[in-house]
């Protein structure tokens, strides 16, 4: 039973346009949500995060939106660049002493020049 679902395994976008990656979760107890990016043959790298008490966090070209009532978050990349081509993972976690993250299966983004 997957607690975190990234329903689009892949996404293709033109350079300069917006990329929107979605993530749905079932556990209303998650306190924070992280997005990671992963290139082939490398480990995931942290991209951006959001606390459950916020509905938006922005960092340069990357913005994450959180809709707690819908248990849905999205990552917007504007404008998209070819270097953004990677697999993106949504990884929420709970506050307290447990630092366990629950990972989605990822969305492979291809940004075409």
Partner 1 sequence: DAGVIQSPRHEVTEMGQEVTLRCKPISGHDYLFWYRQTMMRGLELLIYFNNNVPIDDSGMPEDRFSAKMPNASFSTLKIQPSEPRDSAVYFCASSPDPGVWIGDEQFFGPGTRLTVL
Query: 49 or 74, CB closer to partner 1?
Result: 49
For residues 85 and 42, give the distance between their C-alpha atoms in angstroms, rounded to a whole number.
13
Pick one of 28, 53, 83, 99: the residue that binds partner 1 (CB under 8 A).
Answer: 99
Counted residue by residue, the chain has a size of 113
Pick one of 44, 66, 73, 85: the residue that binds partner 1 (CB under 8 A).
Answer: 44
Pick one of 34, 75, 86, 111: the residue that binds partner 1 (CB under 8 A).
Answer: 34
* Contact residues for 60 (Cβ-Cβ < 8 A; gap 6+): none
Residues in contact with partner 1, total (CB under 8 A)? 26
Candidate segments 11-19, 64-72, 77-85, 92-100, binder of partner 1 by CB under 8 A = 92-100
- The reply on whether position 46 binds partner 1 by CB under 8 A is yes
Candidate segments 21-29, 38-46, 61-69, 70-78, binder of partner 1 by CB under 8 A = 38-46
Q: Are 4 and 90 in contact (CB under 8 A)?
A: yes
What would the two tokens of residue 8 be? 């689009």
* Contact residues for 2 (Cβ-Cβ < 8 A; gap 6+): 26, 104, 105
């Amino acid at each position: 039973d997957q607690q975190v679902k990234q329903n689009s395994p892949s996404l293709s976008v033109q350079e300069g346009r917006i990329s929107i990656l979605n993530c749905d979760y079932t556990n209303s107890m998650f306190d924070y949500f992280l997005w990671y990016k992963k290139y082939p043959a490398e480990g995931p790298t942290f991209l951006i995060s959001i606390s459950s008490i916020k509905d938006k966090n922005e960092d340069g070209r990357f913005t994450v939106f959180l809709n707690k009532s819908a248990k849905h978050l999205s990552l917007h990349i504007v404008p998209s660049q070819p270097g953004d081509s990677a697999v993106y993972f949504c990884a929420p976690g709970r506050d307290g002493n447990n630092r366990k993250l629950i990972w989605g299966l990822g969305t492979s983004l291809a940004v075409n020049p």
